[in-house]
Amino acid sequence: MNNTTSHLIHHLKKTVKSIAISGLHRGENPQPGPSVIASIRRSFPDLRIIGLSYDSLESSLYSHLGDQPDVAYSMPYPEVGPEALMERIQYIRERENLVAIIPCLDLEIPNFISISPRLHEWGIKCILPTIQSLEVMNKSNLYSFCRQIDVFSPKTKPAINPLQLESIAEEFGYPVYVKGRIYEAQLANSKLELIESSKSIAKLWGWPLLVQEALVGEEYDIVGLGDGKGDIIASCSIRKFQRSSNGKGFAGVVIEDPELDHLAKKIIKQLHWNGPFELEFIKMSGKPHALFEINPRFPAWVDFPSQIGCNLPAHLIEGLMSKDHQPLQACSAGQMFIRHSIDLVTNIADIAEMTVTGEYVTASIKASPEVKQ
């Protein structure tokens, strides 16, 4: 990159309002960031988007499909803690006119809550749930919360060692799910599968693990925005009818279900949820919907409702940037999505740039008319 190009890019960074988005991988186990970016660009095509990247191979960095950031910065892993996150955000804001952040990964949320007072001091907006709401929806606590508010949910218990894990599985009866505290779930149909699953998950996430009874039925998801006062600003409900081996929705159809809407309102009201959320349900024949997970961010399929008039990420940005809210259409029953995989083409020098320097200006920005001048 020559000096003229570098100077123009630096000038662009400091004069254009920017928002930062994380979770930039869009592979077999897709993260929400690219869908959030694509949704925002539908309403704010000129908004500068910063990618917060945890891996130089995150596919969105090298996309040319409207779901890539304009520039990316490497980030410390969430396990390092809030201080490292704050230092990196400080570094970024010295180089960018950063006005808002949308975290898109579960593990990041507690750290962002911890540094939210500093973000406020810096004038960086970030819509987050309270730490109390986050604790309630935690996988370890969700079953107890559901019992308190009379919402059906699969029985779930924590296990601190293999013996306790086997005991709980026998109590529930096979099959059961073995889950990590944050991510990962595997179905175990026998004691042998239980042991193997627990070893692989504990290797990644450590103990305790969770044992959850396996409910068999159709899966329903709701994406929405909570106003922090107990109401849902807008939402979209789908039935998943194609899933990956990781349980990710690869095809879904919008449904109208008053019972599901009632449950969502009841749950969000109790949590006083602030910001994006995803509610995941299982519906078994003859039984009510069972809530089995709450995610504290947009899901990877959030760009689907954006394409049919319910652009939740853009609505969030309008609020963060004090712009007038555009009306959101209700998602029409019968509209559906099918995920489509393609090969992205880039140069290995681009990956080297991100790996070595921790910063990457995407090809679209390097080739823009302002930079070429």
Q: Is 193 exposed, middle or buried (0-12, 13-18, 19+ CB in 10 A)?
A: middle
Tell me the CA distances in angstroms from 226 to 71, 231, 234, 299, one per residue in order.
29, 6, 8, 14
pLDDT per residue of the chain (373 residues) written in tens, 0 to 9: 455 445 555 555 667 889 999 999 988 889 999 999 999 999 999 999 999 999 999 999 999 889 999 999 999 999 999 999 999 999 999 999 999 999 999 999 999 999 999 999 999 999 999 999 999 988 889 999 999 999 999 999 999 999 999 999 999 999 999 998 877 888 999 999 999 999 999 988 889 999 999 998 999 999 999 999 999 999 999 999 877 766 677 899 999 999 999 999 999 999 999 999 999 999 988 889 999 999 999 999 999 999 999 999 999 999 888 777 778 888 999 999 998 888 889 999 999 999 999 999 975 555 444 443 3
Claim to verify: residue 320 and residue 360 sit in the same structural domain: no
Number of domains in the chain: 3
The domain in which residue 296 lies consists of 133-137+216-338
Same domain, 277 and 300: yes
Q: What per-residue confidence (pLDDT) applies to 8? A: 52
Query: What's the pTM value of the predicted model, to 2 decimals?
Result: 0.90
Sign of the torsion formed by the C-alpha atoms of 247, 248, 251 and 255: positive
- Which helix H or strand E contains 168, and what residues bound it? helix 162-172
Q: With beta carbons less than 8 A apart as the criterion, state whether 70 and 48 touch.
A: yes
Q: Are residues 277 and 178 in the same domain?
A: no
Using CA atoms of 66, 24, 59, 305 in order, give the dihedral in degrees to the nearest 10.
Answer: -50
For residues 22 and 80, membership in a common domain is answered with yes
Distances (CA, A) of 322 to 21, 31, 45, 46, 325: 18, 27, 17, 17, 9
* Separation CA 322–CA 330 (nearest Å): 23
Residue 238 forms part of a structural domain: yes
CATH of residue 248's domain is 3.30.470.20
Q: Note the pLDDT of residue 54.
A: 96
Is residue 36 within 8 A of residue 4, CB to CB? The reply is no
CATH number at residue 165: 3.30.1490.20
Residues 224 and 300 in one domain: yes
Please check whether residue 144 lies inside any domain of the structure.
no
Token digits of residue 19: 């928002």
At residue 267's C-alpha, the angle toward residues 261 and 273, to 5°, is 110
Place of tokens 């810096």: 122
CA distance 345 to 149: 50
Query: 202 and 236: one domain?
Result: no
Residues 323 and 354 in one domain: no
Please report the pLDDT score of residue 232 as a whole number.
96
How many CB atoms are located within 10 Å of the residue 236 CB?
A: 25
Q: CA–CA separation, 292 vs 223, rounded Å?
A: 15
CB neighbours of 124 closer than 8 A, spacing ≥ 6?
89, 93, 98, 99, 100, 101
The reply to whether 188 and 258 lie within a common domain is no
